[in-house]
Amino acid sequence: MAKLIGSVGTSHIPAIGGAIAKNLQQDPYWKPFFDGFPPIRDWLDTARPDVVVMFYNDHGLNFFLDKMPTFAVGAAQQYNSADEGWGIPTLPPVQGQQDLSWHVINTLIEREFDIVTCQEMLVDHAVTLPLKLLWPDSCPVQIVPVCINTVQFPLPSARRVYAMGRAVGEAIRSWDSDKKVLVIGSGGLSHQLDGERAGHINKAFDLQFMNSLLTNPEWVTQYSIHELVEKTGTQGVELLMWVAMRGALSAGGTSSLRKVHSNYHIPISNTATGLLALEAV
């Protein structure tokens, strides 16, 4: 059976892609953010995952406000990125892992999750930036993208997303393969880009949430979506990707988790940036 080696949660702000393209990693504004990644890259160099299951939210490349699925899973042979208007260079295509994609899809349907299956799918900065941050030179992994709606209400509850993540984790652990799988939660943390609360950041909540993922992973499920919007901002609900990521690690009775490394920095483009790597041991 496949081995679920651990997880990484990271932010995916478009400006990060611009900073990478301009080689600003050592710029004083960017250095505290980029300095969080070398310890995790070192871990990944040793762990050597073959496949990444990426929980992320689409920003209009595949789904818009008139057609917004709650959950969608990619089952493509490869995933191309496209110009989103942020000035981020388009990256080479990322190879899909179709066998695992269909195993995840079938498992989710069996667990009574209604999902959209995408045999063609573009990926935006929410997918490409985490891959570039973790593997700056070239991407050595195949991917299974799992899209969660955090754009158009109604949104799925944290409890529902955690349960969905557990089902994905069950699929990974029961996949008939000798490959090693990493799960990534791409998004957040607290931020709001518009309205009267534009610029809202809740450091205390962010840090408590990050700590809970190691010590009490269902802590966040006590809050409704509207409560999470109040606490983290309208875009801060992207933390649902981290919730799904942690749910995947809870599947199959993981004995324990080790924190590889974490980082928290504010602000980058009015956003609280979080980074957390957990190893399943």
Q: What CATH code is carried by the domain that includes residue 202?
A: 3.40.830.10
Please write the tens of the pLDDT for every residue from 210-239.
999 999 999 999 999 999 999 999 988 999
Q: How far apart are the first and last CA of the chain?
A: 16
Number of domains in the chain: 1
Residue 68's pLDDT band (cuts 50, 70, 90): very high
Please write the tens of the pLDDT for every residue from 244-254.
999 999 986 55
Output the pLDDT for position 140.
Answer: 96
For residue 50, give its domain range: 3-280
Instruction: State the virtual CA torsion across 156, 276, 271, 84 in degrees, nearest 10.
Output: -70
User: Is the pLDDT higher at 229 or at 91?
Assistant: 229
Per the residue annotation, which of 103, 191, 261, 265 is the catalytic one? 191
Per the residue annotation, which of 12, 103, 125, 265 is the catalytic one? 125
Output the pLDDT for position 127.
Answer: 95
Q: Radius of gyration of the chain from Cα atoms?
A: 17
Output the pLDDT for position 45.
Answer: 97
103 catalytic? Reply is no
Please write the tens of the pLDDT for every residue from 16-63.
998 999 999 999 999 999 999 999 999 999 999 999 999 999 988 888
Name the average pLDDT for the chain: 94
Least confident of 4-13, 193-202, 214-223, 272-281: 193-202
